[in-house]
Amino acid sequence: MVITHSSDLVPIDQPDDLANIVRLAPTAAGARPMRANPIRRRSWARWFKLLEPTHVRALLFASSVILCEGSTEVGALGTWWSNTSNLQLPNPEAANIPLVSVNGDNGFGGYIEYLDAFGIPWAAIVDGPALRSGSVLAKQLRDHGHQPSVPPPDSPDFAEWRAYWATAGIFTLADQFGDDGSKQGEFEAFLQRVDAGVLASVHAEIGQRSKPQVGALFAAGRPAMPAEVMELYRAVMLRLAPHGDDHLGAQSNTTWPAPAKEPIRLTTIRHRRNAAASSLPTHARRERLGL
């Protein structure tokens, strides 16, 4: 048995390794042990691919996670939200809530399955097209039991669908679906609406290929947090509040609780037969998996 606070020590070399990871998830009633269901070999290859990066395994130690559809969002929102004192809320780093890019709407499902398995609360920030009832994300949410009841009855009203998905922790800064070829539902369209001049300046300086840099430089060049971004942060933190909105200082008489002095722990039960496999370098493990 290994008790660790280090993502480098989280084993993922065999299907049994995943089933033997136990996360002590903090709840109002105390720590609750959470673990993934037994993993079939076909599913294990998918989990291995998701969990191979150390920063993804490190999410096991997060109090909550904010999933972003792309890395531009991570760059911009992470910069704006680095100082949230005027909102009377802790910033994501202080609250141990990382922002993670899932690299497109196809990537949400794997992260949701992973976070749910280990009892890690999450919220998602998506582009407009993802809010369609027939989107890839909508199917993933249905598959993982997160679709809210009573969807809008075949409504084309974007505001209705935005409010509907917000009840499941799905948020957006888009003001339309934007799936008509215009791309007006994407996060970059929001940046364009906020300050087209700053966005053009950033593109002229570094181009458009490095999306995290584009987002971070835009927010640095336009440091005043837009009102929509403030409201988004309040909504996300309300969703992720440990015991409901009583802990949202800006909306109550109390304050968000300080991070626990004792970090979240993992217990892993390692079998002797796995020792040799775990010593293989990453590329060798990938070759063995056919990845």
Section 137-155 average pLDDT: 91
pLDDT at 283 over 80: no
Three-point CA angle 228, 82, 264, nearest 5°: 110
Phi, then psi, of 58 in degrees rounded to 5: -65, -20
282 Cα distance to chain centroid: 25
Which pLDDT value is given to residue 1? 67
- On the question of pLDDT at 282 being above 50, the answer is no
Range picked from 28-42, 75-89, 152-166 for highest mean pLDDT: 75-89
Is there a contact between 174 and 128 (Cβ–Cβ < 8 Å)? yes
Question: Rounded mean pLDDT of 256-282?
Answer: 46
Of 233, 217, 260, nearest to 91 by C-alpha is 233
Q: Are 245 and 252 in contact (CB under 8 A)?
A: yes
Task: Find all residues with CB under 8 Å of 59, minimum gap 6, and list them.
Answer: 65, 98, 100, 114, 115, 120
> pLDDT of 244-265, one tens digit each?
443 343 333 334 444 444 445 5
Closest CA to 58 of 3, 108, 10: 10
CA 30 to chain centroid: 24
Query: 192-207 pLDDT, tens per residue?
Result: 999 999 999 999 999 9
Domain boundaries, given as residue ranges, for the chain? 1-40+264-291, 63-261
Angstrom distance (rounded) from CA 177 to CA 213: 25
Backbone φ and ψ for 150, nearest 5 degrees, come out as 55, 70
pLDDT at 39: 74
Mean pLDDT in the chain? 84
Q: Which two tokens stand for residue 141?
A: 């949410």
Q: Render pLDDT for 117-126 as a digit per residue (tens, 0 to 9).
A: 999 999 999 9
Residues 180-199 have a mean pLDDT of 97
Kindly provide the b/e burial profile for residues 138-161, where b requires at least 16 CB atoms within 10 angstroms of the residue's own CB: bebbeeeebbeeeeeeeeeebeeb
Please report, rounded to a whole number, the percentage of residues in the chain having pLDDT higher than 90.
62
Q: Which of 9-18, 133-142, 259-268 has the highest mean pLDDT?
A: 133-142
- Are the beta carbons of 11 and 278 closer than 8 angstroms? yes
